[in-house]
Amino acid sequence: MAQEMSLDVNGRAARVTVDDTDTPLLYVLRDDLGLHGPRFGCGLGQCGSCTVHVDGKAVRSCVTPVSGLPKNAKIVTLEGLGGPDRLHPVQAAFIEEQAAQCGYCINGMIMQSAALLNESPKPDEAAIRQALAQNLCRCGTHLRIVRAVQRAAGTL
């Protein structure tokens, strides 16, 4: 049975109707709200391209059912993290380090990195690598990605 839900996405109230409360958050964000930051990669929570923040924590939206969200959860996607007029420091650092190649993983890498820096503002290289270990990049720009996170943390 269809259920109407209220969400807080990127600081804005959104009302969506889902046919199944087990619908992944990713589908609601992309299909119902028209957001393109979170990407569908593996659908199993293993690649990280769908990463968003829920109450400041990085989560895999492809395996997070909307029914499992905490009440009044604040969801932030890449679009809400920053934009062309006001880049988040991680976004700016990824641009400066030219960390994107094909760009498919970059949403997840940026969102995971921003969550890391929220928890640990000055991580060392090992901590950065550990935090990003479950985010897959097929193009092999890992070194640039690590440098971008170091730059955003002010440790490069």
Residues 6+ apart with CB under 8 A from 74: 8, 11, 53, 54, 55, 56
Question: What is the pairing mode between strands 74-76 and 3-9?
Answer: parallel
Closest CA to 155 of 116, 107, 104, 100: 116
* Domain span at 22: 3-81
Q: How many CB atoms lie within 10 A of CB 65?
A: 16
Least confident of 17-21, 69-73, 144-148: 17-21
The residue-averaged pLDDT of 44-55 equals 96
CA 52 to chain centre: 3
Q: What is residue 156's predicted lDDT score, i.e. its pLDDT?
A: 62
59 and 18 within one domain:
yes
pLDDT tens-digit map of 22-31:
999 999 999 9
Q: Given the structure tokens 């935090």, which residue do they identify?
A: 131
What does pTM read for this prediction?
Answer: 0.94
Q: What is residue 49's predicted lDDT score, i.e. its pLDDT?
A: 96
129 and 67 within one domain:
no
Q: What is the mean pLDDT of the chain?
A: 94
Q: What is the CATH number of the domain that holds 38?
A: 3.10.20.30
Least confident of 27-31, 83-87, 131-135, 144-148: 83-87
Q: What is the CATH number of the domain that holds 136?
A: 1.10.150.120
Using the 3D structure, point to which of 81, 114, 139 is the last residue of a domain.
81
Q: Which residue has the higher pLDDT, 103 or 30?
A: 30
Q: How many structural domains are present in the chain?
A: 2
